[in-house]
Chain A
Amino acid sequence: MIQLKRKKLKPGEVFFQSINYLLFGLFTLSCIYPFYYLFINTISSNDLSAAGYIKFYPRDIHFDNYFKVLSISGLSHAALVSVYRTVVGTLLTVGASAFLGYLFTKKEMWGRQVWYRSVVVTMYFSAGLIPWYITMNNLHLTNNYLAYILPSIITPFNIILVKTFVEAIPPSLEESASMDGAGYIRVFWSIIIPLTTPILATITIFSAVNQWNSFIDTAFLMTDTKYFTLQFLLWRYLNESSSLAALIRNSPDMAASIQNMQTPTSVRMTVTMIVVLPILIVYPFFQRFFVKGIMIGAVKG
């Protein structure tokens, strides 16, 4: 009887499943289409793109837009700044989170609970933007590359993740190493680091994405264009059409071919694509890591 029921799909069931699949299909499309739309427009003839003909597939494919946009001097420098903060900032925060997370598992540390709590509690309050800005200013961290990497060294959430992870490692592993005379640093380096790779990978990804995506700190702290990141430059391009148009007028390179003449729209789209591409490229690789990360975080967060 039950078997029979399962085999024969009831009309209600068919209806429900179809609607369900359809809705998820539509939402998934809406998540992907904007990226696709932008991409096909940046590689299609700029004339057709400007006339709104490029909706579903590219036409007259060319890559001029990318070469031209990358030749804007401020832009490639901004790309370097973005890469710098992503690489250096991530290395520092991962190293610091791993080390501090490990130290906080040591019950014999003087005042451990106090220090650990005082780090964790910073997740839940902030002095506010302006006091923070004034402090950064007093520390001479405005118009300074260090401002991108120093504050992010301590990320309480990462420290919690590492601490939780290390606590789950059998203590016997560590004990046998310290019996052999290995100090904390040695144990950290040759036992903790190799055993915590999964969680360190998760942290690396989250920090790298965060660093790449940051722009509020640039908006606050940097007035000199040489400190601008890609994200911030993109924001300026989106909001200052007139300056973008002037930029295009003033670079003779930009108007080289008539068919693919650069317009504010084409520059905007291409820059957006350049900023988003690194994330889309690494996404498939880090996808498998973050579920683990979010689960550990949720248990302990």
Chain B
Amino acid sequence: MGVTSGELIRSVQPVKRPRRKMANKFKLFFMALPFLIVTFIFYYLPISGWIYAFYDFIPGIPLSDTPYVGLKWFRTIVSNPTQTAEVMRVLKNTLAMSSLGLITSVFPVIFAILLSEVKAGWYRKLVQTLTTIPNFISWILVYALAFSLFSVDNGVISHILVQFGLVGEDFNFLASNSNIWVTMIAWYWWKSLGWGAILYLAAIAGIDQELYEAAEVDGASRFRKIWHITVPGIIPTFFVLLLLSIGNLVNNGMEQYFAFQNAMNKDSIEVLDLYVYNIAFANNFPFATAVSMLKSVVSVVLLFAANTLSKVVRDESII
């Protein structure tokens, strides 16, 4: 009984620890393994589907029975004039909507700055709570709301606009090809403005209040306080989000456009993601795969470019 339990443990540890650690090393790995397999199946396995871009694949016929065509589908993008025109049209829509998105990405910044100027706390909270709601409904629901507000036969807003003589009886907002880019970006901000401002509001809340007090003593105007204190405080957040959206230049996502598309506005609403879906459903699988393959490669390159830019400018990576 000359040895205390503490000493005993200490004397045993050097022998026991390494072996336990070795065992734990793999135990942990095997516990994670099922999840890693799921990750592989749903995120990495689909990459093998790129092979379909090199065959004259028709759904239903096994790949082994379909002829290998090399780069044929990639070449049609540039060699077939109708195909080229199609792709250019879609690319134009994609870049137009992305650029509009980039330009308007200051909206949530402005929203946050102006909202933080509101003195009444209850009003600020109310605005923030209610304007975030649209972020949580799907684009199908947004479209359903748009449908009941803007449809030709009994949309309330269409009614009002017709009554005031602003638009003709038969003007159809939802089926119009003109201004669809602007309409889409407007719906986008209707849905995401309140949500997008949350990050900036938090950044503003983190700014040292003493700075404002000091500026006030110096007699700084509201605009000068915003410009010299608030704006520098939220620029880093803005910059990260801006860079991430550069990485997503060709990925507008398709849910919004899928919900709002119809035969009348298709020409201007079709972005890359939606185009891929549409040609796949016209059963041109190989071409759809080729296009989505190019898109994936371009977006990875853009992401790396944005990341490099971030490293150079801010000395910090975004991914």
Closest to B126 in A: A28
Q: Is A24 a contact of B114 with CB atoms below 8 Å?
A: yes
Q: Which residues of A contact B48 (CB under 8 A)?
A: 131, 135
| A34 touches which of B24, B145, B277 (Cβ 8 Å) | B145
Interface positions, chain B 3-52, Cβ under 8 Å from A, are 21, 24-29, 31-32, 35-36, 38-39, 41-50, 52
Q: Is B148 a contact of A268 with CB atoms below 8 Å?
A: yes
B-to-A contact residues, CB < 8 Å: 21, 24-29, 31-32, 35-36, 38-39, 41-50, 52, 114-115, 117-119, 123, 126-127, 129-134, 136-138, 140-141, 143-145, 147-149, 153-154, 156, 159, 190, 193-194, 198-199, 202, 216-217, 222, 237, 247, 254-255, 258-259, 262, 273, 276-277, 280, 285, 288-289, 292-293, 295-296, 299-300, 303, 319
For this complex, 8 residue pairs linking A to B, each with C-beta atoms less than 8 Å apart, are: A13-B222, A20-B117, A24-B115, A124-B303, A131-B293, A219-B258, A235-B140, A295-B202
Given that A129-B292, A130-B52 are contacting pairs, would A209 and B136 also be in contact in the complex, using a CB cutoff of 8 Å? yes
Q: Is A238 a contact of B190 with CB atoms below 8 Å?
A: no
Closest to A119 in B: B39
**Is A60 part of the binding interface, using a Cβ–Cβ cutoff of 8 Å?**
no
Q: Is A31 a contact of B194 with CB atoms below 8 Å?
A: yes
Given that A124-B247, A298-B199 are contacting pairs, would A38 and B148 also be in contact in the complex, using a CB cutoff of 8 Å? yes
Q: How far, in angstroms, from A269 to B151 measured CA to CA in the complex?
A: 12
How far apart are B244's CB and chain A's nearest CB, in angstroms? 9
Given that A265-B154, A272-B145 are contacting pairs, would A129 and B276 also be in contact in the complex, using a CB cutoff of 8 Å? yes
| B31 touches which of A21, A153, A184 (Cβ 8 Å) | A184
Given that A24-B123, A154-B39 are contacting pairs, would A110 and B29 also be in contact in the complex, using a CB cutoff of 8 Å? yes
Q: Is B50 a contact of A109 with CB atoms below 8 Å?
A: no
| B190 touches which of A23, A31, A150, A275 (Cβ 8 Å) | A31
Q: Is B292 a contact of A128 with CB atoms below 8 Å?
A: yes
Q: Is A134 a contact of B130 with CB atoms below 8 Å?
A: no
A-to-B contact residues, CB < 8 Å: 2, 13, 16-17, 20-21, 23-25, 27-28, 30-32, 34-35, 37-38, 41, 49-50, 52, 55, 96, 99-100, 103-104, 106, 108-112, 115, 118-119, 122, 124-135, 139, 150-151, 153-154, 184-185, 209, 212-216, 219-220, 231-232, 234-235, 238-239, 265, 268-269, 271-272, 275-276, 279-280, 283, 287, 290-291, 294-295, 298
| B133 touches which of A118, A134, A280 (Cβ 8 Å) | A280
Q: Is B198 a contact of A28 with CB atoms below 8 Å?
A: no
Number of A-B contacts (CB under 8 A): 235
Q: Is A213 a contact of B138 with CB atoms below 8 Å?
A: yes
| A110 touches which of B25, B114, B262, B277 (Cβ 8 Å) | B25
